[in-house]
């Protein structure tokens, strides 16, 4: 599965989730290589890492691990953000140049009873949408789709 298709799959699962989900938070952080702390050396390492990043459970705690190409687990971190639990964390996923232009509660139509998040994609009249009965999950799904849109 490509990174783009993986993000689109996660966005679909976010919209189908019954509510905030730590497992989805871990998958999102792993897919986007979001780890605690930020500095030039760490960011360069994350970009160049040849292995994958996967959610793992260690000592009963859900974490993100760098998996070596040979399948062995390397460095691991706590989950740094919880985009399915917080609208601020969900909004932090939005790619540069994108903004949340509208978050409305639908009272009719196909998505009645759900929030509809509209993210500008930089083109007049075109938006990336996310839906859920919890606003942070609608924003999270739309942000993941916006990131995927920018991938090849």
pLDDT, one tens digit for every residue, the chain (152 residues): 568 999 999 999 999 999 999 999 999 999 999 988 767 777 788 878 888 999 999 999 999 999 999 999 988 999 999 999 999 999 999 998 888 999 999 999 898 999 999 998 777 888 999 999 999 999 999 999 999 998 86
Q: Using an 8 Å Cβ cutoff, are 33 and 75 in contact?
A: no
Q: Tokens at residue 39, please?
A: 């500095």
- Judge residue 62's burial from the number of C-beta atoms within 10 Å of its C-beta, 0-12 exposed, 13-18 middle, 19 or more buried: middle
**Global pTM?**
0.90
Return the structure tokens found at 130.
């996310």
- The dihedral formed by the CA atoms of 105, 14, 144 and 83, expressed in degrees to the nearest 10: 80
Report how far residue 7's alpha carbon sits from residue 45's, in angstroms, rounded to the nearest whole number: 21
């Amino acid at each position: 599965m490509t990174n783009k298709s993986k993000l689109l799959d996660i966005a679909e699962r976010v919209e189908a989730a019954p509510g905030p989900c730590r497992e989805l938070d871990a998958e999102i952080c792993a897919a986007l290589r979001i780890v605690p702390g930020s500095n030039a050396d760490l960011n360069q390492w994350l970009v160049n890492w040849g292995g994958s990043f996967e959610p793992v459970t260690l000592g009963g705690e859900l974490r993100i691990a760098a998996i070596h190409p040979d399948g062995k687990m390397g460095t691991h971190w706590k989950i740094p953000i919880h985009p399915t639990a917080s609208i601020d964390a969900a909004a932090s996923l939005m790619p540069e140049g994108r903004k949340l232009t509208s978050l409305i509660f639908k009272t009719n139509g196909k998505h009645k009873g759900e929030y509809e998040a509209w993210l500008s994609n930089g083109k007049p009249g075109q938006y990336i949408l996310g839906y859920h009965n919890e606003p942070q999950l609608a924003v999270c799904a739309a942000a993941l789709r916006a990131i995927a849109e920018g991938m090849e």
